Amino acid sequence: DITPDQLQAHLARLLPLMASYERGLLNGVAFYQQVLVHFNLTPSSYPFDDYRRHWCGALVRSPAMEVLFEQVLAARRVCILSNTNDLHWMYTAEQFNLIQRAEVTLTSYECGLFKPEPAIYRLALERFEIKDPATALFIDDKPENVAAAVGVGMTASFVHESEARTRARLEEVGVLSSP
């Protein structure tokens, strides 16, 4: 058994490994193998399928956000820039049927860059074929990522706080119509 404080310490030591994973320096299987070593586990004591279920279990549906996403898809071109890893990305595609409906996507694990690094936003603008950054609306749940987007010229950007607040902001900037 492990105490919450011990778990917190273990997870803190995993942060550099997680950063490597989300930059694509490790794939899901390699990261899993490192987790086994870190926690002194074996594949028989902690099978990959159990690990994947636990690792992806943090990703939960938000029906209200799914409706909002549908409305934005109907109104505008949608591109996705995400700090993520291969297992989370595949799980999200399988379970939520949202990301594959975006016109273009760019993930940290594909390009080796990570928000809030300015280079990932510049690459996203290029990949998404957006010539004027001021025409791009960037929404993120982390203020530092939004600040970095604004720093490369995506001035119509804001922090996602809740479905209701994001809906209101989308109405304010003219992406959605007020009811």
Element holding 179 (H helix, E strand)? none
115 contacts 152 by C-beta, under 8 angstroms: no
Question: Count of CB atoms within 10 A of residue 130's CB?
Answer: 17
Q: What is the Cα gyration radius of the chain?
A: 18
Burial readout 83-114 (b: 16 or more C-beta within 10 A, e: otherwise): bbbbbbbebbeeebebbeebeebbbbbbbebb
107 Cβ contact partners less than 8 Å away, ≥ 6 residues apart = 81, 82, 83, 84, 89
Cα dihedral value 31, 37, 43, 45, nearest 10: -130
**Tens place of pLDDT for every residue, the chain, 179 residues?**
678 888 788 788 889 999 999 999 999 999 999 999 988 999 999 999 999 999 999 899 999 999 999 999 999 999 999 999 999 999 999 998 889 999 999 999 999 999 999 999 999 999 999 999 999 999 999 999 999 999 999 988 899 999 999 999 999 999 999 87
List, in order, residues 6 or more apart from 56 with CB less than 8 Å away: 87, 88, 91
- Distance between CA atoms of residues 128 and 122, nearest Å: 10
Q: What is the pTM of this model?
A: 0.90
Is 157 exposed, middle or buried (CB count within 10 Å of its CB: 0-12, 13-18, 19+)? Answer: buried
